[in-house]
Amino acid sequence: MQSIIKSSSSSSSSVTFIRIRQFSTSSTLFNNLSNSNKTIVSEEDASKSAPLVALHKRLNLPNDYKLGTLTRALTCRSSRGNLANNYGLNILGKNFLSYYVNEYLLSKYPRLPLPVLNTAVSSYISTESLHNVGKYSWGIEIDETPILNKILNEEPKEYSLGKLRFLPINQIEETGITKLTSKSKDEINSSSAYALGVRSIIGGLYISTQSEDLTKKFIYDHIISRKLDLSKMFEFEQPTRELSRLCKREGLTKPIAKLLVENGRLSDKPIYVVGVFSGEEKLGESYGSSLNEAKIRASVNALKNWYLYKPLNNSVPSDKDYKPSIIDHGIVIV
């Protein structure tokens, strides 16, 4: 026998979900195809789900964020049952995420080359990345318990509202059993479902609070606050050549590599420290076990110093006191 206690003094009110309803009729985001005649969970029912209330509190969501919206954000389109799904919230959240992450990276590193910028953006908001956020940072659980077990455990039907619901791809292949039915297009793997959930929670935050500032803060706190070392994301093919082209474009003197220090030239483990200079100015410096290696490393260092330039004024266009910083010429064409 199990009994379940609600994890908080529920501020349960019998207010049904009015705001989203209005939004769904007025906006194309909630298209009629996916959500017409779907049931929307009432606050009273939703507050009976302990995992849902706990998740709401764990993410420090504002009180305006109704539990019903959170349930909806966790319900994927492919899930069984007749609950309203997160199709529209997902699109909204995706747009918010890509806007704020792009804006943040472009303002912080105005000289970032386009391929690296795109990779960095997808590092923050790719399906895999958001799956990690949902699973290992927010601790969202998947509703995996078979219906029979739920009945045997006497689990209230509201309990699983706080879990992620979707139609999983059945990956278990048993020998001798051939699946005749073709794969349903609604089947998704768990990482896509987590990503849907995370994006929808962000979309739901905007719908609930109608505040771009709060949504932006939430994205900065949970998505952008993770550490991504951009200097490890570069791979140069011809760094020395690229550096000399860059110097030519920027009107600097031709870069020259100079040996700064060396040790053990005649031994089998020599160390050379090489600096790349343009006139009197040192552009970059690095080490290597041969002169050529040290020179290439120094050029890479100089290029990274250029591309990863961070302006002191770090405001983004959505800030109130935004001041435009530099606009870069773009990547060097070799």
Partner 1 sequence: MPIKPIPLLPKFQNGLGSFILQCKKITLQVDKAGGSSEGLRQFLKLRLNNYAISNPKIEFRIVEKHGHPIIKGHYINGREKAICIRNLNVDNVENKLNLLKESSGEQLRKRTNKVESINQSIRGIWSPLHVDPSIRHKI
Size of the site for partner 1 (CB under 8 A): 59
Letters for 2-41 (x = contact with partner 1 by CB under 8 A, - = none) are xxxxxxxx--------------------------------
Separation CA 41–CA 220 (nearest Å): 29
Q: Which amino acid is at 118?
A: N
What does 86-116 look like in DSSP terms, one character per residue?
SHHHHHHHHHHHHHHHHHHHHHH-TT--HHH
Separation CA 69–CA 26 (nearest Å): 17
Tell me which of 167, 233, 308, 316 binds partner 1, using CB under 8 A.
233
Question: Are the CB atoms for 209 and 64 separated by under 8 Å?
Answer: yes
Q: Does position 192 bind partner 1 by CB under 8 A?
A: no
- Tell me the closest approach of the beta carbon of residue 224 to partner 1, in angstroms: 7
- Tell me the closest approach of the beta carbon of residue 307 to partner 1, in angstroms: 8
Number of CB atoms found within 10 A of residue 6's CB: 14
Tell me which of 99, 156, 167, 220 binds partner 1, using CB under 8 A.
220
Q: Does position 109 bind partner 1 by CB under 8 A?
A: no
Q: Does position 309 bind partner 1 by CB under 8 A?
A: no
Separation CA 37–CA 43 (nearest Å): 18
Tell me which of 263, 289, 292, 314 binds partner 1, using CB under 8 A.
263
Q: Does position 1 bind partner 1 by CB under 8 A?
A: yes
What does 237-255 look like in DSSP terms, one character per residue?
SSHHHHHHHHHHHTTPPPE
Tell me which of 173, 229, 268, 321 binds partner 1, using CB under 8 A.
229
77-90 burial, b for 16+ CB within 10 Å, e for fewer?
Answer: ebbeeebbbbbbbb
Q: Which residues in this chain contact partner 1 in the complex, by CB under 8 A?
A: 1-9, 50-51, 53-54, 57-60, 113, 115-116, 118-120, 122-124, 128-129, 132, 136-139, 220-222, 224-229, 232-238, 242, 261, 263, 271, 273, 287, 331-334
